[in-house]
Chain A
Amino acid sequence: MNRINKLFQEKKGQILSVYFTAGYPNLEDTVPVIEELVKNGVDLIEIGMPFSDPVADGPVIQHSSLIALQNGMSIRKLFEQLKDIRQTVDIPLILMGYINPVLQYGVKAFCQKCKEVGIDGLIIPDLPMDVFEEEFKAVFEANDLHNIFLITPQTSEERLRKIDEVSTGFIYMVSSNSTTGAKTSVSEFQKEYFERVNSLSLKNPRLIGFGISNAETFANACQYANGAIIGSAFVKAMEGSEPLGQKISGFINSIATDI
C-alpha cells in the first residue's frame, strides 16, 4: 500500500507534514534534514525541488530555492541523494515543485525514478487538472504515485468535488488565497471555509497548509483537518549557524509537544 494511504488510515488527526527545499541550506543537507525530521516525529515530508521562477511562493521559499540552485541542486542530483533513503526512512515522502523541470527531465522517466527511490506522491502546483488527467495520470498510476491537488477558499464547490474525485492521496487545503509564507491566523472567514469544505463529506483526507507557522496555528488548523503542513516557517528556522539537528528538533518541539 502507498505510504500516504497507510498514514491516513492509521492516523486520523494531528498529522504534521513539513516542507523543506532540497539542497538548502547546503547541497548535501537533503538526506540529513529528512532523517532529523523523522527522528523528531514528523509524519510526512514534502521535499521541494527548487525552481528559478517559483510564482506561488513567498520570499522565504524563493530565497531557499535560489540558494539551493546556486548550491547546484537539480532533479538528477536529488534522485542521487535519495537513492538509499528507503533504507532508513519509512514515512511517506512527497516531491513538490513546478512543472517545467519535470517536463525537461521527462515525465515518464521522472515518475519511474520516483518509484525507484520510493517517492509516494507529487505536488505540482502549476500542473492543471485537465492536463494531469490527459497526459500524466496513467504514468503516475503506473508508478504508484499520488498527485496532490490544492484547493483554496475561492475554489467552487463543483471544482472541489471534481478535485476530490481525481485525488487519491489527500487534498491540500490552502488556508488563504496567497503565496506560501503569508501570515495567517485562523480568521472567521477561514473557519467558514474549513467548515464548508468539511460539510461536503469528501472522500479524501485533508491537510491545511500556507501560513502554518507555530504551535497555535498548527493546533487551530488541526481542528479542521487531519493535520497541517508547515513550509516557510520551517525553512526560515533552518537559517542560522547552529547544528542542523538542533535547529530541527528545536523547531519541531516548538510546534507539537505531544507527538
Chain B
Amino acid sequence: MSYQVNEKGYYGEFGGAYIPEMMVPNIEELRRTYLEIINSYDFRQEFIGLLKNYVGRPSPLYLAKRLSEKYQSNIYLKREDLNHTGSHKINNTIGQILVAKKLGKHRIIAETGAGQHGLATATVCALMGLKCIVYMGAVDVERQAPNVKKMRMLGAEVIPAISGNQTLKDATNEAMRDWINNPVDTHYIIGSVVGPHPYPDMVARFQSVISEEIRWQLEEQTGKENPTRVIACVGGGSNAAGAFYHFLDQESVELIGVEAAGKGVDTHETAATLTLGSPGVLHSSRSILMQTDDGQVTEPYSISAGLDYPGIGPMHANLFTTHRAKYLWATDAEVLDSALELTQLEGIIPALESAHALAALKKIQLKPEEVTVINLSGRGDKDMETYLKHFGY
C-alpha cells in the first residue's frame, strides 16, 4: 500500500482540491508545474544550499541522556528547534519561496497560528526581496506577540483576522480570500500539509528532509537507520509528515502523532481532530475535521496556537484510517508538565506545540532496548509569556 498522494491528489479517500473557480488558475498552475520545478537540478542545488548555509541544516539528532534515563529507554530529539527562525516551518518556506520565484510571483501571502510559519515566511521574503502579507488570528496576535514584532521588523505586513475564533482557521480563510482577490501576481505559502492538492504533497516533500536526516544520523549513531518509533505533534501535520516521510514504507517503525486535547477531549475546548472529528471538507481538501451534525466547523481550542486548528492534513487522515500511524492526544496541563521536564532535564525549552510530542512519553510503554525519536519541532522563545504565567518564575 502506498501512503503517498496519488496522481489525482488523494491519499486514499482524502485530499483533492475542493476549490472555488476563482482559485483554479493558480492551483492548476501549481499542480502542473510543482514536481518539475522541485525535481529540477537548479532547484535542488539552491534548496539544499539554503537549507545548509542559511537554515543551518542538518539539524542535530541528539540522544537526550537524562530524559532517556528517566524513561529507561533511548530517546533521541530531532532538533528542528535549532533551525533559523526556531522551527521546522522554514524548511517549507524556503522551498515554496523558490517555487514562487520560479512562477514569477512577487507578492507572498501566508497564514499563521503560532507565528512560526509567518515568521519563516517573512524571513524568506526578506531574503528574496518579495512583498509579504501574513494573516494571523487576532487572538494569536495577542498570545504570540514576540513573533508579530519579528515579522513586522522583517518588513511583513501582519493583518489580524477578526472572524470566527480569531485563530488559525480564520487566518487561513483570510489568506484564501486574499488569493481569490489577487489571482495574478500572488503566491500563497501554506504553512502545513493542508489545503488543496498539490499543497499537502509539496509541503510534505519539503519537510521530508527531517526524516531523511534522521535515517543517516541514526545509522551514524546507532548503526541502524530505523528507530522503534517516531513521535511528532500534529496541528495541520507538517512536522509530523516530515518526520514520518521516509519511514512510511518501513512498516516496522511505529509512527505516533500527538494532537492537542486542550482542556480535554471530553470538553468543548479541544483541538483533537482525529480523536473527535469526522470526514469532511475544510480549506479545500477532504480530510477529517471537527464539526457539528450540520457540517459547520467547530471552533477548536488549545494552549498552543500552532495546534489550535479543527482540521488535519489529508495524509494524516489516511494514515489514521489505515492504522499506519497512531494518534494520541495531550492536554494543556500534560503539555506544560512535559515542557518543564525537558527544560530541567536537558536544558532545552521546547515550543508548546513540540511539548505535545514529549507528553507522549507518559502515554506509551518504552522498553530499554528501544529507540524513540521525538521531533522537537520548535523552540519555546515565543511561549515564554505562557510558561511564565503558568510556572510563576
Contacts and interface: CB of A to CB of B under 8 A. Distances in A.
Chains A and B bind each other? yes
A104 B291 contact: yes
A175 to B, nearest CB: 11
Nearest to B180: A179
Interface in A145-165: 149-152, 154-156, 159
B298 to A, nearest CB: 8
B193 interface: no
A213 interface: no
B291 A178 contact: no
Interface stretch (A38-46, A51-59, A199-207): A51-59
A182 interface: yes
A100 B281 contact: yes
B295 A62 contact: no
A104 B293 contact: yes
Interface in B279-309: 279-284, 291, 293-297
Contact of A52 (B176, B183, B281, B297): B297
Contacts of A55: 20, 173, 176-177, 180, 283-284
B22 A150 contact: yes
Given A75-B294, A150-B22, A62 B181 contact: no
Given A104-B280, A126-B19, A127-B18, A56 B25 contact: no
A131 B22 contact: no
A177 interface: yes
Interface residues of B, number: 31
Contact of A151 (B19, B21, B181): B21
Q: Which of A51, A52, A66, A174 counts the most B-chain CB atoms under 10 A from its CB? A: A52
B284 A56 contact: no
Nearest to B174: A55
Contact of B177 (A52, A58, A156, A174): A58
Interface of A, helix, strand, loop or mixed by DSSP:
loop
- Most chain A CB within 10 A, of B16, B18, B280, B284, is at B18
Interface in B160-219: 163-164, 169, 173, 176-177, 180-181, 183-184
B345 interface: no
B38 interface: no
Contacts, number: 103
Residue in A54, A55, A156 whose Cβ sees the most chain B Cβ within 10 Å: A55
Nearest to A126: B18
Interface string B362-392: 0000000000000000000000000000000
Nearest to B27: A128
A98 to B, nearest CB: 8
Contacts of B176: 55
A138 interface: no
A105 B295 contact: yes
Given A128-B18, A131-B18, A177-B183, A159 B295 contact: no
B291 A155 contact: no
A53 B173 contact: yes
B17 interface: yes
B180 A178 contact: yes
Given A150-B20, A152-B21, A155-B25, A126 B284 contact: yes
B20 A103 contact: no
Contacts of A76: 294
A80 to B, nearest CB: 13
A53, A76, A151, A156: which has the most chain B beta carbons within 10 Å? A53
Contacts of A226: none
Contacts of B173: 53-55
Contacts of A54: 173
Contacts of B20: 55-56, 125-126, 150
B24 interface: yes
Given A51-B296, A56-B180, 19 more contacts: A52-B164, A53-B164, A53-B283, A55-B176, A56-B177, A62-B163, A98-B281, A99-B18, A100-B280, A100-B291, A101-B294, A101-B295, A103-B279, A103-B280, A126-B281, A131-B16, A150-B21, A177-B183, A178-B180
Interface of B: 16-22, 24-25, 163-164, 169, 173, 176-177, 180-181, 183-184, 279-284, 291, 293-297
17 contacts: A55-B176, A56-B20, A58-B177, A75-B294, A100-B280, A100-B281, A101-B294, A103-B281, A125-B21, A126-B18, A127-B18, A152-B22, A152-B183, A154-B22, A154-B184, A177-B180, A177-B181
